[in-house]
Structure 1
Amino acid sequence: MAAKRILIVDDDADIREATQICLEITGEWEVLMAEDGVEGLAIAQLEKPDAILLDMMLPGMDGLTILKKLREQVETQTIPIVILTATAQPNERKNFDQLKVAAVITKPYDPMTISDQIMSVLLTSR
């Protein structure tokens, strides 16, 4: 079975690296990475990954803005998006539902189980 491709959009290099290692080892993912929203949008359009892990608190363009832009573009509107956030307020969750977010994972999360969480989301979002 071919590895699935996932894009991690997070400004924290340590989180990107730890998550990348765990996804590659435990889930056999091919991992693409972006440190900000502009880079994340460009990679998503070009590479069309199987899923996107999107941090909500990013410099410049916040995660909600990126999420809306991903949903507006034909090339990226059907990619399952998993939100990474330290907090998820009720009004944010409403926005996530309206923008068809596949799942919300709160930080800190267990990098050793994140691959299973993402695969579960992808299987149920088909």
Structure 2
Amino acid sequence: MNTILYVEDEPDIRAIAELALQTIGGFSLTSCASGKEALAVAKTQVPDLIVLDVMMPEMDGPETLRRLREIPMMADVPAIFMTAKVQPNEIAEYHALGALDVIPKPFDPLSLAQRINDIWHRA
């Protein structure tokens, strides 16, 4: 089973994505409401993929990914950002951080799992 560490501060979006990824996609999911929570979880479990929101309070998605990369077991785990911030320069920044790709928000819950699978297997 493919496991995803999913980081999203907005409860409604998190709930929809959880449903889409677990029920439709069949993924095993660990959801976190903040970058800080993701860092704590990452010390005890290594996912197959990280999916991160970009705009979060306290620690944003790019900073969370940088901090996750400092944990040796997490250094090579592929990552995807989900965000409404999809200007070409912003997407270039996410790729420079090592993200596989960016999924624009709002996303289609029915196709989210397939979209993640496509990005993951293309990499």
Counterpart-to-counterpart distance in 1, 2:115 and 2:105: 14
1:19 and 2:17 correspond: yes
Q: Say whether the 8 Å CA contact 2:25–2:113 is kept in structure 1.
A: yes
- 5+ unaligned residues in a row in structure 1: which ranges? none
How high is the TM-score relative to the length of structure 1? 0.90
- Following superposition, the deviation at residue 72 of structure 1 comes to 2.9
Moved over 3 A (4+): none
SS of aligned partner of 1:7: strand
Q: Report the number of matched residues.
A: 123
SS of aligned partner of 2:94: helix
Say what the alpha-carbon RMSD is for the aligned residues.
1.3
Counterpart-to-counterpart distance in 2, 1:109 and 1:44: 26
Q: Name the structure 1 match of 2:51.
A: 53
Percent identity between the two aligned chains = 35
- 5+ unaligned residues in a row in structure 2: which ranges? none
Select 1:76's aligned residue among 74, 77, 82: 74
Range 94-103 or range 9-18, more displaced: 94-103
Counterpart-to-counterpart distance in 2, 1:111 and 1:65: 26
Range 70-79 or range 55-64, more displaced: 70-79
Once the two structures are superposed, residues 9-57 of structure 1 have per-residue CA deviations (whole angstroms, 9 ceiling, x without a partner) of 0111111111111111211111111001100122133211111110011
Select 2:32's aligned residue among 28, 31, 34: 34
